[in-house]
Amino acid sequence: MAMAFKMATTGMWVTEECKNSFMEMKWKKVHRYIVFKIDEKSRLVTVDKVGGPGEGYDDLAASLPDNDCRYAVFDFDFVTVDNCRKSKIFFIAWAPTASRIRAKMLYATSKDGLRRALDGVHYEVQATDPTEMGIEVIRDRAK
Amino acid sequence: MYGGGEYDATSPFKSLIRAFYASLNFSFDGVSLVCPVDEVSAIVIDLGSHTCKAGYAGEDAPKAVFPSVVGSIDQMEVDDPIKSERDPGSVPDPKNVVRPFDSDKIKAKRKLYVGSQALGYRRDNMEDGVVVDWDIVDSIWDHAFRERLLIDPKEHPMLLAEPSSNTPQQRERTAELMFEKYKVPALFLAKNAVLTSFASGRATSLVVDSGGGYTTVAPVHDGYVLQKAVATSPIGGEILTECLMKSLESKSITIKPRYSFKRKEIRPGEFQTVDLDFPNTTESYKLYAQRVIASDIKESVCRAPDTPFDESAYANIPMTPYELPDGQTIEIGADRFKIPDILFNPSLVQTIPGMESFAESAHSIRGLPQMVIESINKCDVDIRRELFSSILLAGGTASMQQLKERLEKDLLEESPQAARVKVLASGNATERRFRLDF
């Protein structure tokens, strides 16, 4: 297990790359978001896309496919009512209705393994269509 | 693995089952050296109180769907006239595993004679989704394996869907039968609700499963069913069918079972119906044949009303025609809306003539929205919000037209202000059954 963290229930492995880019996002703030995907052939969870610090939530929403599942983490910066700058990390499980059942099953069952590998996620959101992970949902949760 | 740890420790099969769970785990992990089963695809069986669904894991739809009805005959009586009368007009084609649903209904149980002293052709074997009569279950499994899927159970790992309310004794019995009789290499029992939840890509959700024999509301959190908050009610598709039949009877409409007549085309476009007489038909088989028709009426015309059903408001709605198999056309008016509304308001049963026996117990049964609210309120405060926003509908009865909209509307009225209510229908009734195999 030197190079990859193994998920508890399924045969999927989380690559070191996933953890490293997450840590970079958390500590160095070099990414705004990261999109993960499962590669079924090699049984690995890999990084699909990373968003630079200048990108926003809409860019993340646009990078999620309509007909396939993904995991994503998003670093949400906001200012609280008492003018305090804060940052919260969201984990989004994206499972659109149009994706295959097989994919939905795979992502739902493998989610826990990835979640455990990513230390320091504040909130978790499950979404099946864009309204469920709209920016207002995120804002609402961060309050 | 979920489910694995809950197994009753008193079971003599405990170590055996643990061992199999372990071997199944290995196959899931992809360590094929330990257990060779991951080369073959697993078989998934969901034995419901109304229909049995079976197929291969990883596929989108079940390979075989047939009613969980078993024709049983006293051994003394098995003679040819009875057999032929039980499935008139059907073309037996056992090799053709994938068949359209309708033709399945008549034929599927034909060969499943159970040699016990049965009273009629039809027997129920499930109560609230929990198996009552094991002989029958055994014959259903046997049928599924050998005649529908054409496989040898020794070669395939099994995934059985079980109701959330299954008892340890039931699971023990299931495991015993599967290992000792069918000698399956590996077995996993998964909760219906969990499978539904995963099939929609969610690890946390509230699953409203309304099937043939009962309705269950089960919260699932991170892949586990929260047992204490599970709510069930005996109202399912079969009761609705029953109500529809009784209601039609009270309007002096008789449904002729399909076997009791022959229809001939005497001139193009003109049909003549000739009644056939089978004096040996038992009452229960006749009833079953009538139910098949009534449930088709229900599926084709009924829809859930947008607001609670009110006799006077629906008195003037246009009638919907439905053509019975014997050619007579019946008109269905208010019943179209009244029958589905029983799901929301069980006390409506009392107004249907002939359902008095059920009406007495109807007082204690809650409607669907109340069941949902109650179930959510029994859960931890932290996850309630999430449950409200991911209510999953599953099962045949839940795929009724407009039911999703109605449930969403009713829940919006009764839920706390802050909650976002979102009801999701998980595709069609059969789609949800199938989980993938690793």
- Average pLDDT (B293-314) is 76
- Per residue in B87-137, pLDDT tens? 333 333 333 333 333 333 333 333 344 322 222 334 444 444 555 566 667
The larger pLDDT score, comparing residue B229 to residue B141, is at B229
B426: pLDDT confidence band, cut at 50, 70 and 90? Answer: low
Q: What percent of chain B has pLDDT over 70?
A: 56
| ipTM of the prediction greater than 0.85, yes or no | no
Domain with CATH 3.90.640.10 in chain B: 237-361
Average pLDDT over residues B236-257: 78
Residue pLDDT, tens place only, B323-355: 777 777 777 777 778 888 888 887 777 777 666
Per-residue pLDDT at B125: 46
Q: Which domains does chain A have, with CATH numbers?
A: 4-142 (3.40.20.10)
**Chain B residues touching residue A126 (CB < 8 angstroms):** 201-205, 386, 390
Strand order in the sheet with A33-39: A4-6, A13-15, A44-51, A33-39, A70-79, A85-94, A123-127
Q: What is the predicted pLDDT for the residue at B406?
A: 84
Q: What is the mean pLDDT of residues B1-11?
A: 39
Q: Of all residues in chain B, what percent carry a pLDDT higher than 90?
A: 0
Beta strand A13-15 with A44-51 is: parallel
pLDDT digits (tens, 9 = 90+) for A112-143: 888 888 888 888 888 887 777 778 778 777 77
Instruction: Provide the pLDDT for residue B36.
Output: 39
A9 touches chain B (CB under 8 A): yes
The pLDDT value recorded for residue A8 is 43
CA pair distance A122, A141, nearest whole angstrom: 10
pLDDT in tens, A59-86: 888 888 888 888 888 888 888 878 888 8
pLDDT band at B5 (very low <50, low <70, confident <90, very high): very low
Q: Which residues contact B315 (CB under 8 A, 6 or more apart)?
A: B334
Candidate from A61-75, B142-156, B165-179 with smallest mean pLDDT: B142-156
pLDDT at B178 over 70: yes
Which of B28, B197, B200 has the CB atom closest to A10's CB atom?
A: B28
| Most confident stretch, A63-72, B9-18, B313-322 | A63-72
Which range among B87-101, B134-148, B369-383 shows the weakest confidence by mean pLDDT? B87-101
pLDDT in tens, B256-282: 776 666 666 666 666 666 666 666 666
Indicate the residue of B30, B204, B223 with minimum beta-carbon distance to A126: B204
Choose between B202 and A9: higher pLDDT: B202
Task: Convert B410-423 to b/e letters by CB count within 10 Å (16 or more is b).
Answer: bbeeebeeebebbb
* pLDDT score at B298: 81
B200 and chain A: CB distance < 8 Å anywhere?
A: yes
Interchain CB distance below 8 Å, B200 and A128: yes
Q: Closest to A11 (Cβ–Cβ): which among B29, B203, B434?
A: B29
The single residue listed with the structure tokens 């500590």 is A27
Which chain A residue is nearest to residue B26, measuring alpha carbons? A11
Residue of B358 and A102 predicted with greater confidence: A102
Min mean pLDDT across A11-20, A58-67, B68-77 is at B68-77
Residues B116, B411: Cα–Cα separation, whole Å: 47
CATH architecture of B237-361: Alpha-Beta Complex (3.90)
Cα distances from A119 to residues A23, A90, A114, A122, A123, in angstroms, run 8, 12, 10, 9, 12
Nearest to B433 by CA among B171, B125, B141, B191: B191
Look at residue B211 and tell me whether its pLDDT is greater than 80. no
Report for B88-92, B200-204, B383-387: range of highest mean pLDDT = B383-387
- Across the interface, of B29, B422, B435, the residue whose CB is closest to A105 is B435
Cβ contacts of B29 on chain A, cutoff 8 Å: 6, 11
Q: Which residue has the tokens 């007082």?
A: B363
Q: How far apart are CA B65 and CA B103, in angstroms?
A: 11
Q: Which residue of A has its CA nearest to B427?
A: A97
Q: Which two tokens stand for residue B423?
A: 């009801």
Confidence of residue A10 (pLDDT cuts 50, 70, 90): low
Q: Which residues of A touch B223 (CB under 8 A)?
A: 9, 108-109, 112
Instruction: Tell me how far apart the alpha carbons of residues B411 and B407 are, in angstroms, rounded to a whole number.
Output: 6
Task: State pLDDT tens for residues A41-60.
Answer: 777 888 888 888 788 888 88
pLDDT confidence band for B246 (50 / 70 / 90): confident
Within B222-305, strands assigned E span 224-225, 231-233, 261-267, 270-275
